[in-house]
Amino acid sequence: MELKETVLKAFEQNRKAVLYTIGAGVAVLGLGLGYKYIRKPKKLTQVGVVSQLILHPLKSGKGLQVATAECLRMGLKYGELRDRHWLVTTEDGQMVTGRQEPRLVLVSMTAEGGDLCLNAPDMEELRVPLGQPNNNIINCRVFSADIQGRDCGDEVSRWLTRYLAAGKTFRMVHYEPEMKPRMSVKIESPFPADEEVAYPDTAAVMLLSEASVKDLSSRLDKDVTVSRFRPNIVVSDCEAFGEDSWDELQIGSVRIKRVMACGRCIFTTVDPETGIINRKEPLDTLKSYRQCDPSQKKIYKTSPLFGQYYIVKQTGILHVGEPIYKISY
């Protein structure tokens, strides 16, 4: 009897603690079961196929088509080359793009045997070491933002200056991982606060469909190609402008999320095959039928929309030929 009374007394003294513990356990179990049955399952719907993967290691330089690429938070990577991680500048660090020097679009950059290789029409190939840790770090301006880059050396400077023949000196810099990036949200307000880029205009990834380019070509006197619009991921097997409504995509193990459309500028009037700028088409035609909703004028102003900017939510490897799935919940 004494033992029984002792146990009952102990229970009475700790009744509240025991009941709280049991109640908390039941609540956690209930929440878990509720989440399991209330949460809508993820649904994947195929919307297209990856037809091309394109890196532009040098900002405004020639695109490099690859069969497979790493998709990282700051864009595509192929071997030692990363998308838009090299930049041509003036001597005082101001960026130079195809808007100012259209013939930059004919400069190709590859990597081989630890060397960076530059090629352009009527120029001998230039090879310099990929890593030049003793070179100066240069303060640069990309649009209105400050950023740094490792100078690629006098030999590269002379090569670019001779090729562009613009009566002034050019240099090239390389963005390295430990350098401070630009914040996408300071460029375009719809981006999340933690998104970072090196030398791209705005986003880590730009996606465009072949059908959208075909639709534009049907309205022009002369066809244009995907390369004029400089996307990273090109999509086939879809309708024109289908990409406008793909908010979240799964490609293999990679998951990307749409942030905003790509507002187009005068750079689209540079022919990627000749390096000649006409300052008219296809931009004028795009303006005639690809304007934003009036409620978005604050973001896009008068720029026509063509292609979509995405951020990388889950990194991984991309392959040409992979199906692209729209994620819905």
Q: Where are the domains of the chain?
A: 44-328
**What is the reported pLDDT for 39?**
56
Measured distance CA(71)–CA(94) in Å, rounded: 28
The predicted structure's pLDDT at residue 115: 98
Q: Distance of alpha carbon 312 from its chain centroid, rounded?
A: 8
Distance of CA 184 to the CA centre of its chain: 10
**Residue 133: Cβ within 10 Å count:** 7
pLDDT of residue 242: 98
Q: Mention every residue, 6+ apart, whose C-beta is less than 8 A from residue 114.
A: 129, 130, 131
What is the predicted pLDDT for the residue at 42? 86
For the entire predicted model, the pTM comes to 0.88
3-state secondary structure at position 105: helix
Tokens of 110: 């590859």
Q: Span 44-328: which CATH code?
A: 2.40.33.20
Query: 108-112 and 115-119: which strand pairing?
Result: antiparallel
Span between the terminal Cα atoms of the chain, in Å: 61
Tell me the pLDDT tens digit for each residue of 42-100: 899 999 999 999 999 999 999 999 999 999 999 999 999 999 999 999 999 999 999 99
Q: What is the pLDDT of residue 32?
A: 53
According to the model, what pLDDT value does residue 297 have?
96
Asked if residues 209 and 235 have their Cβ atoms less than 8 Å apart, the reply is yes
Regions in the chain scoring below 50 on pLDDT: 1, 3-4, 6-8, 10-11, 17-31, 33-38
Question: In the beta sheet, which residues pair with residue 52?
Answer: 234
| Token code pair at residue 22 | 């049991």
Residue 163 in tokens: 């090729």
CB-based contact 218:96 (threshold 8 Å): no
